[in-house]
Amino acid sequence: MSGDTKNPYDNACGQIKICAAQMDMEPGLYEILISHKMIHTVSLPIKKDNGEIEVFTGYRVQHNDARGPYKGGIRYHHEVSMDEVKSLAMGMTWKCALIDIPYGGAKGGIVCNTKEMSIGEKEHITRRYTTMISQFIGPYRDVPAPDMYTDAQTMAWMMDTYSVIQGYSVPEVVTGKPIGLGGSEGRAEATGRGAAIILRETAKILGMKLKGSTVVIQGFGNVGVNAAMTLYSMGCRIIGVSDSRGAIFDPDGLNPSKVFAHKLETGSVEGFQGSEKLTNEELLELECDFLVPAALGHQITMKNAGNIKAKVIVEGANNPTTTEADEILDNNGILLVPDILANSGGVMVSYLEWVQNINRQHWSLTEVNQQLEAKLVSSFRNVWDAKEEKGLNMRDTSLAIGVSRVAEAIKMLGLFP
Ligand code: GLU
């Protein structure tokens, strides 16, 4: 984990401070942008399968809703902290503004280890959490979605709990639902698929050949797997992947579908036939064209940034790189495509799901993927052109676009009272 001194929230504020200075923003506006409009901490007493009671802690942090209802995922992880959720909620605000969808930003989390919980315990904790935050969420208020260690089933329980409280079915209160409950075609794959599209656009603009290019992916959960599969289908050579247990390497290229089947069977990518075992640190430092961190935050820090040999980093995860590491990568000439652009495919298709739900429609996978493709390509080009014009790196450019759109919205709304 991070060797850097800052906590995730300070890291996020540091990024906005740089951005505000570049934009010559008035101090009061900067204060609004780094403040969270509402922060909810809830305690969740659960009767476990063994009959014992355990009290878990949950958060829902609503950062800013100047451009539309709060939007953002919910993660279940034993290391979830309030500071982390605050920084992730801010990230959602800039992400939604950057790709220009009518949402603000929020994030939620429960401090728990799903690997030690039964399906029944996960259902209890999800329903209790939803009940506790039910008055703060809603289709036009705050729309949760999956994140790390939550999935379509988690969203089904949230939708059901919320609907029971309202007294009628409200599918549009969450996105990332199972397709049979109003979920969108292509939503489950969207974040990884989106990261692959952004990587393809980066290769194109840099004049790098995608076919045969070498890719390393850290994390083999929803984002990593779908990015790997899409990139493999585009002709990339996936030379290394990892999960929380370990990493594997094959210079000739791995077939992600086969690695995934192996993970389903054994619980890990480790031991995949013909692959060499690596540590997580070694994986990040492999020589490759593209490195896609798609696991936890703060993986690329001042400790290892100097050893990264990838030409381009495409951030599939949220906050995988610290501010200190950003500077080192910049100085070493490594191009970094930031999270708020690279992983925005997930929330983009969440938006499409919400639009389908409120209009009582169901679109085909082709229709969804066409809209995802068009949005990501135009957002990428927009960032690239602005970067060329401003002479900033891609992170600062993306943040500048997102932050300035939110700042404009706040100014137009004015302050009440
Ligand atoms: N958790 C995803 C993210 O970090 C998706 C959020 C959403 O769809 O609302 O972007």
pLDDT in tens, the chain (417 residues): 445 656 888 888 888 988 898 889 999 999 999 999 999 999 999 999 999 999 999 999 999 999 999 999 999 999 999 999 999 999 999 999 999 999 999 999 999 999 999 999 999 999 999 999 999 999 999 999 999 999 999 999 999 999 999 999 999 999 999 999 999 999 999 999 999 999 999 999 999 999 999 999 999 999 999 999 999 999 999 999 999 999 999 999 999 999 999 999 999 999 999 999 999 999 999 999 999 999 999 999 999 999 999 999 999 999 999 989 999 999 999 999 999 999 999 999 999 999 999 999 999 999 999 999 999 999 999 999 999 999 999 999 999 999 999 999 999 999 999
**Does residue 399 sit within a domain?**
no
**Does residue 361 sit within a domain?**
no
**Does residue 141 sit within a domain?**
yes
| pLDDT the model gives residue 140 | 98
Q: Are residues 136 and 239 in the same domain?
A: no
Query: For residue 103, which atom of ligand 1 is closest to its CA?
Result: 9
Give the active site residue among 71, 95, 107, 387: 107
Pocket test of ligand 1: the residue of 77, 340, 350, 355 to mutate, having most ligand atoms within 8 Å of its CB, is: 350
Q: Are residues 235 and 210 in the same domain?
A: yes
Instruction: Examine the fold and report which residue of 321, 342, 363 is the final residue of a domain before the chain moves on.
Output: 342
Q: Are residues 87 and 139 in the same domain?
A: yes
Rounded to the nearest angstrom, the distance between the alpha carbon of 69 and the centre of ligand 1 is 14
The CATH number covering residue 87 comes to 3.40.50.10860
Instruction: Examine the fold and report which residue of 278, 313, 342 is the final residue of a domain before the chain moves on.
Output: 342
Q: Are residues 134 and 265 in the same domain?
A: no
Query: For residue 176, which atom of ligand 1 is closest to its CA?
Result: 8
Q: Which tokens sit at 365?
A: 């996978």
Query: For residue 147, which atom of ligand 1 is closest to its CA?
Result: 1
**Does residue 272 sit within a domain?**
yes
Rounded to the nearest angstrom, the distance between the alpha carbon of 152 and the centre of ligand 1 is 13
Rounded to the nearest angstrom, the distance between the alpha carbon of 124 and the centre of ligand 1 is 23
Task: Indicate the SS3 state at residue 210.
Answer: coil
Question: What is this structure's pTM?
Answer: 0.97
Q: Are residues 150 and 242 in the same domain?
A: no
Q: Are residues 84 and 152 in the same domain?
A: yes
Q: Are residues 338 and 224 in the same domain?
A: yes
- Cα-Cα-Cα-Cα torsion 92, 98, 102, 105, nearest 10 degrees, comes to 10
Q: Are residues 242 and 331 in the same domain?
A: yes
CA 21 to chain centre: 26
Pocket test of ligand 1: the residue of 65, 80, 85, 92 to mutate, having most ligand atoms within 8 Å of its CB, is: 92
The residues pairing with 23 across neighbouring beta strands, listed in sequence order, are: none
Nearest to 120 by CA among 27, 51, 64, 202: 51
**Does residue 196 sit within a domain?**
yes
Rounded to the nearest angstrom, the distance between the alpha carbon of 190 and the centre of ligand 1 is 10
Q: Are residues 169 and 202 in the same domain?
A: no
Told to judge if 258 belongs to the known catalytic residues of this protein, a careful annotator would answer no
Q: Are residues 111 and 211 in the same domain?
A: no
Q: Are residues 259 and 154 in the same domain?
A: no
Rounded to the nearest angstrom, the distance between the alpha carbon of 91 and the centre of ligand 1 is 10
What distances in angstroms separate CA 74 from CA 22, 145, 250, 299, 379, one per listed residue? 32, 6, 34, 20, 25
**Does residue 46 sit within a domain?**
yes
What distances in angstroms separate CA 199 from CA 218, 349, 378, one per listed residue? 15, 18, 14
Q: Which amino acid does the sequence have at 256?
A: P
SS3 content of the chain, % helix, strand, coil (to 5): 50, 15, 35
Whose CA is closest to atom 8 on ligand 1? 347
Query: For residue 148, which atom of ligand 1 is closest to its CA?
Result: 1
Instruction: Examine the fold and report which residue of 124, 147, 174 is the final residue of a domain before the chain moves on.
Output: 174
Q: Which stretches of 4-151 are DSSP H helices?
A: 8-23, 27-34, 82-98, 119-133
The CATH number covering residue 268 comes to 3.40.50.720
**Does residue 367 sit within a domain?**
no
Asked if 405 contacts 67 with a C-beta cutoff of 8 angstroms, the reply is: yes
| pLDDT the model gives residue 4 | 62
Residue 217 domain boundaries: 190-342
Q: Are residues 99 and 195 in the same domain?
A: no
Show Cβ contacts of residue 291 under 8 Å, excluding neighbours closer than 6 positions. 215, 216, 218, 284, 308, 310, 312, 313, 314
Q: Which amino acids bring their CB within 6 angstroms of ligand 1?
A: 71-73, 145, 147, 175, 318, 343, 346-347, 350
The tally of domains found in the chain comes to: 2
**Does residue 354 sit within a domain?**
no
Rounded to the nearest angstrom, the distance between the alpha carbon of 179 and the centre of ligand 1 is 17
The span from the CA of 186 to the CA of 305, in Å, is 34
